[in-house]
Chains A and B, each alone.
Chain A
Amino acid sequence: EPEVTQTPSHQVTQMGQEVILRCVPISNHLYFYWYRQILGQKVEFLVSFYNNEISEKSEIFDDQFSVERPDGSNFTLKIRSTKLEDSAMYFCASSEEGQPSPDTQYFGPGTRLTVL
Chain B
Amino acid sequence: AQTVTQSQPEMSVQEAETVTLSCTYDTSENNYYLFWYKQPPSRQMILVIRQEAYKQQNATENRFSVNFQKAAKSFSLKISDSQLGDTAMYFCAFSRPKNAGNMLTFGGGTRLMVKP
Residues of A within 8 A of B (CB): 31, 33, 35, 37, 42-45, 48, 55-56, 58, 89, 91, 93, 95, 97, 101-110, 112
Q: Are B43 and A31 interface neighbours, CB within 8 A?
A: no
Residues in B neighbouring A108, C-beta threshold 8 A: 44
> A104 near B35 (CB under 8 angstroms)?
yes
Judge whether A106 and B103 touch: CB under 8 Å. Answer: no
Is A110 within 8 A of B91, CB to CB?
no
**CB under 8 Å from chain A, chain B span 64-116:** 91, 93, 95, 97-98, 101-109
Give A3 Cβ to nearest chain B Cβ, in Å. 10
**Within 8 Å CB of B104, what residues of A?**
33, 35, 43, 45, 93, 105
Least distance between A109 CB and chain B CB atoms (Å): 5
A sample of 14 more A-B contacts (CB under 8 A), given A42-B106, A55-B101, is A31-B98, A31-B102, A33-B103, A43-B106, A45-B103, A48-B101, A95-B98, A95-B102, A103-B102, A104-B33, A105-B47, A106-B47, A107-B46, A110-B44
Q: Which residue of B lies closest to A107 (CB)?
A: B45
| Inter-chain contacts of A104 with B (CB < 8 A) | 33, 35, 47, 50
Q: In this complex, what residue of A is CB-closest to B37?
A: A107
**CB <8 Å contact, A48 and B103:** yes
- B42 at interface by CB-CB < 8 Å: yes
| Chain A residues closer than 8 Å to B93, beta-carbon distance | 43
Evaluate whether A89 and B43 lie within 8 angstroms (CB atoms) in the complex, with A42-B108, A103-B95, A107-B37 already known.
yes
The smallest beta-carbon distance between B91 and chain A, in angstroms, is 6
